[in-house]
Structures are given as structure tokens and as C-alpha cells.
Amino acid sequence: MARTALVTGGSRGIGAAISKALKAEGYNVAATYAGNDEAASVFTEETGIKTYKWNVADYEASKAGIAQVEADLGPVDIVVANAGITRDAPFHKMTPEQWHQVVDTNLTGVFNTVHPIWPGMRERKFGRVIVISSINGQKGQFAQVNYAATKAGDLGIVKSLAQEGARAGITANAICPGYIATEMVMAVPEKVRDSIISQIPTGRLGEPEEIARCVAFLASEESGFINGSTISANGGQFFV
């Protein structure tokens, strides 16, 4: 029977490419989103992938949503914690609200997503946890103290889960994308975008599908010895 994969923030941007790639690999896929009903319904119409709405920052909502996904599609064997937001400001202007919104979504959201799924993975002796971090969690970024802290924290989650899950057949890995051509990046003024691109040795933005291919690789049965790793997919912009 096909395994079930859950992709948070799986209806738009990088997450949508991940959902489609996993479906193409033959998994049952559930894609979640926060509030953009229109994008989610267009996505389902185009792809046939079922979408679910809940806020990853809310533990009880995540738990209930995951229970619904499992009732509909079967136990989740592959979880991709992709949902994320930015609330940028230089540190001296950053508000506690901007700090908490980003921490609640990008860091606590990963806990809320993986924690309800983890016991089932342990019982079934199989699991793939894949967290979408960021180049800016590796190197820091001006006006992103909140975002960089959460994305670095996500790497800590992955490295710890890798150790806890290994004996139970569970792997946990992270992908750190560089700048990817999603709506978010395409919306910045052309001049700013050109300056971003000029810092990427490959000379272009990444495509969402290039991140999705990394996820499909890590999700597979054959990737069982890759555990606690960070894949940097950034066009050569930063080396760890």
C-alpha cells in the first residue's frame, strides 16, 4: 500500500512543488495551508491533492488535523515541515509580536507538526521527517533575527530527532534552500531581486522543483542511512 505524506504549507510555493513531487512518486499526499482558501482550492483542482486547513502554531489544531489526515489517507510515514513565514525588521525595530509570530510558526510549528506523528512512526518502525530550514538559518541575515533564529533552531530539532529515531527506522533531515523563485521572492522589486541574484554563483534563483527533488530523495526507502543531515540547495551561495 502507498505510504502517506503530509506537507505543511503544501498548497503554495516550495510546498506545492513538494506535494506534487511526492504524488508523482506514488505517495498519498495531504497538503496543509493556513488561510488562503482560494489558492488551496485551485491547487486541489489542478493536482487532485487534498488540502487541509489549520494553523501549525496551534498544537491542538495540528493534532486534530493530523488525526483527520490519518483517518482519510492512512498513517503518516513522511512528514515535511515546510510551512514558514517572515516578519522582517532590523533588530532595533523588531517588535515582540514579530518575534513571536515567526517563532510560533517556524519553530514551534515544527514541534506541533512532528510531535503528534512521532509515536506512530516509532510503532511502525518507519518514518521520514524532513524540515525545510533556510540558508539564513545557517548564516544569519540582516533584518531576520527572528527568522534566522527559528531556521537554525529547526536544524537543532532535526539533529536531535535523528538520534532519537534512528533505532526505530526513522530519519530526520533538513534542507536549507537559498533564494527560490516563489511568489515571495518574485514580489520584491526587480532591482532588489537582481542584487540578490548577483550574490548567487549559479547566477539565477532556484526553482521550487529543485527543492522538491531533494525531498523526494530523502523520503525514499533507499535514503535510510542519511540521518541528521542538512542539504544546502543554494546555487553555491554559502558553504557550511
Minimum Å distance from CB 146 to ligand NDP? 12
Integer CA distances (angstroms), 84 to 33, 110, 123, in order? 10, 9, 29
Range in contact with ligand NDP (rule: CB under 6 A) among 49-57, 66-74, 160-168, 191-199 = 49-57
* Contact yes or no for 146/202 (Cβ under 8 A): no
- The single residue among 65, 84, 127, 165 that binds ligand NDP, judged by CB under 6 A, is 84
Show contacts with ligand NDP in window 100-129 (CB under 6 A): 105
N residues, the chain? 240
Please state whether 140 falls in left (phi above 0), alpha (psi between -120 and 50) or beta. left
Q: Which stretch binds ligand NDP (CB under 6 A): 3-11, 89-97, 165-173, 195-203?
A: 3-11
Residues 63-82 interacting with ligand NDP (rule: CB under 6 A)? 82
Q: Answer yes or no: 52 catalytic.
A: no
- Show the cell assigned to 192: 532588489
**Alpha-carbon span 18 to 132, nearest angstrom:** 11
57 binds ligand NDP (CB under 6 A): yes
Rounded CA Rg of the chain: 17
- Chain positions 132 to 171 lying near ligand NDP, rule: CB under 6 A, are 132, 134
Output 106 or 126, the one with its CB closest to ligand NDP.
106
User: How far is the C-alpha of 45 from the C-alpha of 21, rounded, in Å?
Assistant: 16
**Bridge partners, residue 6, by sequence:** 30, 79
Question: Any contact of residue 85 with ligand NDP (CB under 6 A)?
Answer: yes
* Residues in contact with ligand NDP, shown as a per-residue x/- string from 176 to 205 under the rule CB under 6 A: -x-xx-xxxx--------------------
The set of residues, in sequence order, having a beta carbon less than 8 Å from that of 104 and lying 6+ positions away, is 57
What minimum distance in Å lies between the beta carbon of 152 and ligand NDP? 12
Task: Identify the active-site residue in 27, 33, 147, 179.
Answer: 147
Least distance CB 127 / ligand NDP (angstroms)? 20
User: Within 13 Å and on the Cβ side, how many CA atoms surround 137?
Assistant: 28
Whole-angstrom distance, CA of residue 12 vs CA of residue 40: 8
Closest CA to 62 of 98, 34, 97, 20: 34
19 binds ligand NDP (CB under 6 A): no
State yes or no: residue 34 binds ligand NDP (CB under 6 A). yes
Q: What is the contact surface with ligand NDP in residues (CB under 6 A)?
A: 8-9, 11-15, 32-36, 39, 55-57, 82-85, 105, 132, 134, 177, 179-180, 182-185
Catalytic residues, which ones? 147
